[in-house]
Every structure is written in C-alpha cells, then in structure tokens.
A and B are shown apart, each in its own frame.
Chain A
C-alpha cells in the first residue's frame, strides 16, 4: 500500500511569489491534515479535511494560505503571496475514518524556503 506522498519535496521561492504544495493521502482515507514545523519548533496543526470538507481550519496562519481538497482525494495548500516567516517544513497526514482517533500517517513533508 502506498503511503502519503507530497510534492514537491523542496521549494525555494522569493518573497511575494506563490507556491502550491500537493498531498496525496493513503487511498480511502477520509481524513487529511496539514501541519507545519518552522525553525526547529514544534509541529503545528494547520487544518483538517473530512473528505472534501474543511472540518477545522483554526490553525491556518492567515488568509494568504488556501487549502483545497477537491473530490475528497488529494489536497493542495497554496501560499500567496509567500512571506519569509512561511519558511518551514509542511507535512500532510491522513487517517482512515472520520470522527475517530485513528493513527495519522505522515508524508515526508515539503521543505519551503522563502528568500
């Protein structure tokens, strides 16, 4: 069974540019989560999809971040325009059943560097 995949693995952009990160969860998983880790700090929750619906987006930093999960399959996280403080590693995770505390399986992350 394929795990969670993320693309790209690295992205280097200039301040003010736009970047789109993609996550493909494990097939059949209802829950999809985005997290990020900045500057060696703790991994912080960004948002949670149940299928195609946003269940909780309380961790999204501001309106420069837009996440979508069309069709309830893969998800994208767009940052527009990117700022220096957006640099970090963005992780995606998925888990099987909605409304449960099933184990979350993480992808390898996308390392974003904003110059």
Chain B
C-alpha cells in the first residue's frame, strides 16, 4: 500500500538555527505534497506545497525540497523561532483525501 512517513518523531533546535524536517513516501506516482503545521489545541495548518514538476519551492522562511529519485521531501525552516514549535506533517494530496505521515514534533529552545 501507499505510505507517507517521517524520519524522526522529535527534533530539538536552538532558537535562530535552521530546522530540517524530513519525509519519505513509497508511491512513485505521487505528485502533490503538502506540509502542515499543527499547534497544540489547533487543527493542521497549511504551510507550503509542492508538485512533482518542481524540486524546490520557497515561502516565507520555509523551503520544501522534493527528490523524486529517492522519494524524499524535506521542510526547511530558516531562523527557527519559538512560535515554530509544533508538530509538522507531510501529506500527499490526492483528489479525494490527504495521506499523512506520522509527524515530527519540533521543539525550539532558547
């Protein structure tokens, strides 16, 4: 079956450093991915997306990289701030559903 997963359950970074959160997927036909951020007590919030015709996309302080050869994507957060503390999910976006990975909890310490 298809799956989307994350490498690490927890990532701890110092405020101001860059964070890299990784995700792997199994279906080589997957063509649309989204990163979501979930803060405590809230629902997942869209951060950035990328389609398979791209290998990099940048937003404000965030960059998503897609490596189709090894079926891997990553989320890079520049100058990590305390407000970035949350659980981050990668998800494959299909027409009728999202398939989520297990999530990485990002902890930012001063």
Contacts and interface: CB of A to CB of B under 8 A. Distances in A.
Interface of B: 32, 34, 36, 41-46, 49, 89, 91, 93-103
Given A42-B102, A108-B41, A101 B46 contact: no
Given A101-B32, A103-B34, A108-B41, A45 B46 contact: no
Interface string A67-96: 000000000000000000000000101000
A105 B32 CA distance: 16
Contact of B95 (A4, A100, A105, A108): A100
A103 B44 CA distance: 12
A45 B102 contact: no
A33 B97 contact: yes
A59 B97 contact: yes
Interface residues of A, number: 24
Contacts of B101: 42
A46 to B, nearest CB: 9
A71 B41 CA distance: 29
Given A42-B102, A43-B89, A99 B45 contact: no
Given A42-B101, A42-B102, A101-B32, A107 B96 contact: no
B35 to A, nearest CB: 12
B96 A105 contact: no
Contacts of B32: 101
A23 B28 CA distance: 34
